[in-house]
Structure 1
Amino acid sequence: MVKAGRVLALLLLLLSFGVTAPTATADAAPVLSSVWTGTWETAPSGTAPALPGAAIRNVVHTSVGGTAVRIRLSNRFGTVPLTLGAVTVALRRAGGGPAAVAGSMRVATFSGAESVNLPPGWDVLTDPVSLAVPAAADLLVTVFTPADSGPATYHRTALQTSYVAAQGEQRAADEDGTAYSAKIHYWYYVTGVDVRGTAAGSVVAFGDSLTDGNGSTTDANHRWPDRLAERLQGRRLGVLNAGLAGNRLLRDGVGPSALARLDADALSRAGVRALIVLEGINDIKGSPEASDPVAFVEAYREIVTRAHALGIRVVGATLTPYGGYSAFTAAREAVRQKVNALIRTGGVFDAVVDLDAVVRDPASPERIRPDYDPGDHLHFNDAGMRVLADAVEPAVVG
């Protein structure tokens, strides 16, 4: 057994590098006249094979801007320490691809060091990086891993093309993207970007594949949280997408359950002032299925209680239709209707957004309107995503 003194020494060493457990509390108070605010997020969904010796250039899209950035990287699902040999951040050149805007490339550090070893199950924030970041801009977050550090924590449903340089050493800081000839559609290691500036705070969209963006166009940033970010720009609010395809409210599915990942993916993020919860359809249609509406309400109440303890407002979203989907049954539809009735009238949330009402087919209310349906009768196309975002009135998120 490791002695307590050695554990304390390890924790102090990790904290000196900005390393945090994935369940850390909310970020610290404002620095001078500026505050740290989340501008982009993704929730880790599992692991993929490591790419030792490669540099992975992740493309991420901001919601609000600032004068400095810091990057959150994760070894949450890793089984051995992760060596980050180099991390860089830059603005992406207009027209897409892996090339950076000239003069925008920055090397990120960890308490002044350009590399860090990250224990399994832990996240790390880089030091602040001076870089003027616009709202609604693409960033290139490049991670070089010199060795095989075991299973790589990643987000599967990125709906975004990113790039890999096979011989990554000395390539992480390339402005020219020529070496990044391979394409991937996952986000490796990077799970968040914060900006320092005068933003009013951030809103977390917390959900499953409907929030993750399934059904929307790849490389278009048409997920409903992206569309909500567009609507909230005038209010200087960041929008963080904590959607996780396959996620469940009451039990683990793809990744930990909503209750298990709430702190890491929502409550601990920078500047969070509101949380929009769209979780539960996978519990109803999954196996084993959940059929007790009271269990849903108890879980929602726990989310609200934990958020309120940090001063975070919680908005509940009704569960959207899925008639025509392979797992649909009349019995499960009855459960969805009961859960929605409790969301609407149960007084659980600070506010309610009735997504079911804006997307259901008037001629067949158990189904999505055909013009919002990408064909699987569960998810939403770009038009449907816009309607979901438009249903969230800015006033409900504060």
Structure 2
Amino acid sequence: MSTIARTTAALAVLTLAAPALAESWTPTWMASPQAVWSDTTVFGTGLPESIAGATIRQPLTLSFPADRLRLVLSNVHGTRPLPVDAVTLARSAGGADIDAPETVLFGGKPGTVIAPGAQVVSDPVVFAAAAGTRIAATLTYGLGATAEDFHWDARETSYLIDADRPAAAVLDEIPARITLSTILSDRSARQVVIAMGDSITDGNGAPMDAMVRWPDFLARALADEGIAVVNAGISGGRLLSDGMGRSVLARLERDALAVPGADTLVLLIGTNDIAWPGTPFSPEEAPMSLSRLQAGLLQVAARIHAQGMHLILGTVPPFAGALPETPMEATYWSPEKETLRRELNDWLRRADFHDGLVDFDNLLSAPGDDMRLNPAHDSGDHLHPGAEGNRAMARAVAETVMKRLEE
């Protein structure tokens, strides 16, 4: 072939490939990965004893409409290859039941092997769906599969089933996510908002399968505005140190900066940084300091703004009396920790390094006792808001997001 002919052929290939390369994808659901822990004396993982050869169905709700969907599967905490033999996507029919499953392919093939520390993205699946549509992804694992990567506090039931069929027999219920970390829509969004934080954002305190975490309410409030909302909360999460997942500073790249189309990070963090030292979770840890929290939040802001994104912060809600009748009750809160919480919140209210502040402290505090959650917003453990508290939080965040967009 002549040089001219080879050049013409190469240009033709590039021209044909350009539309696919130019496609943009919007996150419509997320569950941030965590490493599966081996010590289950405090918290069990909720996972089956083995996933080798298992079929697991995971129902979920899309926050943003789509004509086509792509699945992101994670083995980022894995130390060995993770074989996934088959994946399907379908509309949820309630519980473990589905309608008309569609095969999900990876490079044109029905299965994939996810390398240690990696994620894989599926081929697009034609799947027209409105915001709020209930769907289910079903993964069948290879015989050598080991669970090393999951999301612990899903607030939604997944199912170990006997086979990937619409009305499968349920072998076990699973309160965690596994392998499935993101779903992408082919629709463009006006904005992509990522809610990041600890168990308050992850939804601990919200009833299972009710979709009443504050990011759930926020997604429903903003969907008609063309804004996609995804939840990157991790229960036990901290700003500066790893807890039940990587710290915010350690996972900021993967769970915020690298998310397709991300425009705004809404971050509520600090409760566990303040509360965990001296508790059974971290008995030898030195007390947290205001200067360390300030440095960490300033670093988050610097990295978010360098990416061209906006940062909305939340003040830390009150937690006096938290976790009654548990081993944490005596040490999780103290007057010294309360003083630090107030100092941090006062600093946030005066600060100008963020692009908006949602004062969850004032919003959720009990009338006449601002060290404690308002009973109307309390899930009952005096730490996590219940459904009405989450609704109020989402309303305040939505107002802040829309105000910034209108400026």
Normalized against structure 1, the TM-score is what? 0.86
Which of these residues, 136, 142, 146, is aligned with residue 146 of structure 1?
A: 142
Which residue of the partner structure matches residue 33 of structure 2? 44
SS of residue paired to 2:137: strand
SS of residue paired to 1:151: coil
For 1:87-110, what per-residue CA distance to the aligned partner results, in whole angstroms no more than 9, with x for missing partners? Answer: 1111112xx1222234xx211111
Which residue of the partner structure matches residue 270 of structure 2? 280
Which residue of the partner structure matches residue 318 of structure 1? 315
Which residue of the partner structure matches residue 5 of structure 2? none
Which residue of the partner structure matches residue 344 of structure 2? 339
Which residue of the partner structure matches residue 24 of structure 1? none
Q: Match of 1:113, as an amino acid?
A: K
Q: Match of 2:303, as an amino acid?
A: R
- Aligned residues with identical type, % of pairs: 34
Which residue of the partner structure matches residue 369 of structure 2? 364
Shift of residue 182, structure 1, vs aligned partner: 2.7
CA distance in 2, matches of 1:43, 1:220: 19
1:113 to 2:109 alignment: yes
1:50 touches 1:148 (CA, 8 Å); kept in 2?
no
CA distance in 2, matches of 1:73, 1:50: 18
1:35 touches 1:199 (CA, 8 Å); kept in 2?
no
Higher mean alpha-carbon deviation, 229-238 vs 177-186, is at 177-186
Matching of residues 83-232 of structure 1 within 5 Å: 83-93=83-93, 96-102=94-100, 105-166=101-162, 168=163, 171=164, 174=165, 176-232=166-222
Where in structure 1 are there 5+ consecutive unaligned residues?
1-28
Shift of residue 46, structure 1, vs aligned partner: 2.4
Q: Match of 1:360, as an amino acid?
A: S
CA distance in 2, matches of 1:196, 1:257: 30
Q: How many residues were matched structurally?
A: 360
Higher mean alpha-carbon deviation, 388-397 vs 237-246, is at 388-397
Higher mean alpha-carbon deviation, 123-132 vs 147-156, is at 147-156
CA distance in 1, matches of 2:81, 2:24: 31
For 1:241-280, what per-residue CA distance to the aligned partner results, in whole angstroms no more than 9, with x for missing partners? Answer: 1110001111111111110011111221122110001011
Shift of residue 289, structure 1, vs aligned partner: 5.1
**Closer/same/farther in 2, CA of residues 240 and 260 from structure 1, 3 Å limit:** same
Higher RCO structure, 1 or 2 (CA under 8 Å, sep 6+): 1
Shift of residue 199, structure 1, vs aligned partner: 2.4
Q: Which has the larger radius of gyration?
A: 2
Which residue of the partner structure matches residue 297 of structure 1? 294
Q: Match of 1:86, as an amino acid?
A: A
CA distance in 2, matches of 1:352, 1:344: 7
Shift of residue 53, structure 1, vs aligned partner: 1.2
Which residue of the partner structure matches residue 261 of structure 1? 251
Higher mean alpha-carbon deviation, 276-285 vs 296-305, is at 296-305
**Closer/same/farther in 2, CA of residues 396 and 289 from structure 1, 3 Å limit:** farther
**Closer/same/farther in 2, CA of residues 377 and 226 from structure 1, 3 Å limit:** same
SS of residue paired to 1:63: coil
2:51 touches 2:147 (CA, 8 Å); kept in 1?
no
For 1:183-240, what per-residue CA distance to the aligned partner results, in whole angstroms no more than 9, with x for missing partners? Answer: 2111111011110113223110010000000111110100000000111012111111
2:53 touches 2:145 (CA, 8 Å); kept in 1?
no
CA distance in 2, matches of 1:39, 1:32: 20
CA distance in 1, matches of 2:143, 2:21: 39
Q: Match of 1:131, as an amino acid?
A: F
For 1:105-162, what per-residue CA distance to the aligned partner results, in whole angstroms no more than 9, with x for missing partners? Answer: 2111111111111111111111111110210111111111021322331111111111
Q: Match of 2:315, as an amino acid?
A: T
For 1:275-297, what per-residue CA distance to the aligned partner results, in whole angstroms no more than 9, with x for missing partners? Answer: 00101110100122543212112
Where in structure 2 are there 5+ consecutive unaligned residues?
1-17, 37-46, 278-284, 323-328
**Closer/same/farther in 2, CA of residues 328 and 120 from structure 1, 3 Å limit:** same
**Closer/same/farther in 2, CA of residues 211 and 363 from structure 1, 3 Å limit:** same
Higher mean alpha-carbon deviation, 188-197 vs 301-310, is at 301-310
Q: Match of 1:285, as an amino acid?
A: A
Which residue of the partner structure matches residue 39 of structure 2? none
SS of residue paired to 1:191: strand
**Closer/same/farther in 2, CA of residues 111 and 34 from structure 1, 3 Å limit:** closer
Which residue of the partner structure matches residue 9 of structure 1? none
Shift of residue 30, structure 1, vs aligned partner: 9.0
Which of these residues, 357, 379, 391, is aligned with residue 396 of structure 2?
A: 391
Shift of residue 311, structure 1, vs aligned partner: 1.4
1:300 touches 1:348 (CA, 8 Å); kept in 2?
no
Q: Match of 1:37, as an amino acid?
A: T
CA distance in 1, matches of 2:298, 2:20: 33
